[in-house]
Chains A and B, each alone.
Chain A
Amino acid sequence: MRVSRQARAIRQLLLPAARALPWRAPAAGAGLGLLILAVARIVDSDPAPWLAAVLLRCAILADAVGLAFLMDDPARHTTATVPTRRALRTAVRLALITPVTALWWTAALLLVPSQARPPAGALTLEAAAACVLALAAGAAAVRLTDALAPGPSVAAAFLFTAVVAPLLLPDRWALFVAPGDARWEAAHQRWAGVLVGAVLLWGMCLPEPVRRRPGALRVRSPSGTSDPSRTW
């Protein structure tokens, strides 16, 4: 009975949840990604495979940065103690954004000329890892702070990390390798690891309650002494 009640709640939640989602930032990120690919195609209709991979990765980064805003919820304090579980509410958000992101990724791949397109499966893995990582970072920020809209901070940190990581990662951990590179396979095994890690991080932000562990991030709210890292 409880399951059916929650299933009905989820069905009825879809429309208001879709309206509550902060669509602008993800739409801007996705739009920017497509724009990068479209402009590149106009400028050079036959890019080298390495350039096509770089352009697709730029598009992925733009989309992922937009997705970092997806967990922003100005009503989170007002709805903090409702019986519909956090995991279900997050699942609704995910269910709404996933088809749109899949369509966007298909369009992004199609914008790259077929002769220059890197292996779609491998790039899709990169896209999935980056997007899930951005969403997980957003979910973690919501869980560990009292902020209603941590999206800008998360997006900035994500962008910074994405730019700096290729420069700092040692060669044996390289993630951003060109198609045809001997490290391609190994790099994508690492991307699979990133994806699994991001899913685990996200999963850790879902259960209720979260108990603080020694050394966990503690953030004071502006008023009083409440510690939002201890949210149910």
Chain B
Amino acid sequence: MIPTVSASGLSLRYGRAQALDDVSLRLGQGVTGLLGPNGAGKTTLLRVLATAVPADRGAFAVLGHDPATPAGRQELRRRLGYLPQTPGFHPDFTAFEFVDYVAILKELTDRAARHREVRRVLDEVDLADVRGKRIKKLSGGMRQRVALAAALVGDPGFLVLDEPTVGLDPEQRMRFRELIAQAGEGRTVLLSTHQTEDVAMLCHRVLVMAGGRIRFDGTPAELTARAAGRVWISTERDPAAKAGWRTGTGTFRNVGSPPDGADLLEPTLEDGYLLTLDGAGAEVAA
């Protein structure tokens, strides 16, 4: 794999909180999912890789550009698309005007070519019909797509998406999955999310973060396999289970260390994720 992103020893501390703790990774083309609980350091890692904040220690490069120097950072930013957790807009701009504004900030200075590019990305996110509509009149899902179009403009080689499906209804999330899958063709996408289904459906690789460190790095199938033989159903909640809940059928679905003779179930990615976090918690506590 030729890495688009290579980072080693990234650390960042906010006061007493160690937001990133010696994070090293290499990312290649395709969509990589980043899972983790709140406060795990996902957004911080994304902001560091997007050059929005500098790390205390460590180094990284994106497409061969080192952000430690102003020139390197600027070159990196020319090849970067970033969708922040809470994207903001100028509400009186139309979708076209806003993406065009971002395109100018991305130094696409040939007006005709830039307008073609803006139309292309708005088509790509399925907003061609509303490109002349003011952003304040668009729905939340459409606004999120405007933000994605702004990230995609200029055809970046590295796309950083911070929880892009938060607050979207199921239909909008499905649509967004399509868009992210498309975006991952021929470029590197790092997708932070709480939605394990998104990772299962979109990502060829998944990272799990907790306590500022990467606790798992592998394929979604490998993460799911961590829960093989550790998910079972019972008629009562098993007190030995790490997690357990009553399902719609009245039985209890348990995750953890099953008793002998337990009625085992096929695990999901979420089960593997929960068990990975549980192990991470034990490790941190130790």
Contact = CB atoms under 8 A, between A and B. Distances in A.
Interface of A: 2, 5-6, 8-9, 12-13, 16, 19-20, 73-85, 89, 148, 208-209, 211, 218, 220, 223-227, 230-232
Contact of B50 (A8, A74, A81): A81
Given A81-B80, A224-B44, A231-B53, A9 B87 contact: no
A79 B105 contact: yes
19 contacts: A6-B107, A13-B104, A13-B105, A19-B90, A75-B90, A78-B87, A78-B88, A78-B147, A79-B102, A81-B51, A83-B74, A83-B107, A84-B105, A89-B105, A148-B88, A208-B73, A209-B73, A224-B39, A225-B17
Contacts of A6: 107
Given A74-B91, A75-B98, A225-B17, A80 B105 contact: no
A77 B84 contact: yes
A8 B91 CA distance: 25
Contacts of B54: 209, 211, 230, 232
A227 B84 contact: no
Nearest to A82: B105
Interface in B244-269: none
B227 interface: no
Interface SS of chain B: helix, strand, loop or mixed?
mixed
Given A9-B109, A78-B150, A82-B105, A225 B50 contact: no
B43 interface: yes
B52 A80 contact: yes
B17 to A, nearest CB: 5
B268 to A, nearest CB: 26
Interface SS of chain A: helix, strand, loop or mixed?
loop
Contacts of B82: 80-81
Contacts of B150: 78
Most A-side CB within 10 Å, residue of B15, B86, B147: B86
B97 interface: yes
Most A-side CB within 10 Å, residue of B15, B82, B90: B90
Contact of B77 (A8, A13, A83, A226): A83
Contacts of B92: 19
Nearest to B114: A12
A78 B87 CA distance: 5
Contacts of A225: 14, 17, 19, 39, 41, 44
B216 interface: no
B78 interface: yes
Contacts of A77: 84-88
B47 interface: yes
Nearest to A85: B74
A6 B108 CA distance: 10
B42 to A, nearest CB: 8
B106 interface: yes
A148 B83 CA distance: 16
B111 interface: yes
B38 interface: yes
B246 to A, nearest CB: 31
A46 to B, nearest CB: 45
A209 B54 CA distance: 7
Of all A-B residue pairs in the complex, the 8 with the closest CB atoms, nearest first, are A82-B105, A8-B109, A83-B77, A77-B84, A74-B88, A16-B101, A227-B14, A78-B87
A226 B15 CA distance: 11
Contacts of A12: 104, 109, 111
A82 B14 contact: no
Contacts of B101: 13, 16, 20, 75
A114 B41 CA distance: 63
A24 to B, nearest CB: 11
Nearest to A209: B54
Given A9-B107, A84-B106, 20 more contacts: A6-B107, A9-B105, A9-B109, A16-B100, A73-B88, A74-B91, A75-B101, A77-B84, A77-B85, A78-B89, A78-B102, A83-B75, A83-B77, A89-B105, A208-B73, A209-B54, A223-B43, A224-B39, A225-B17, A226-B14
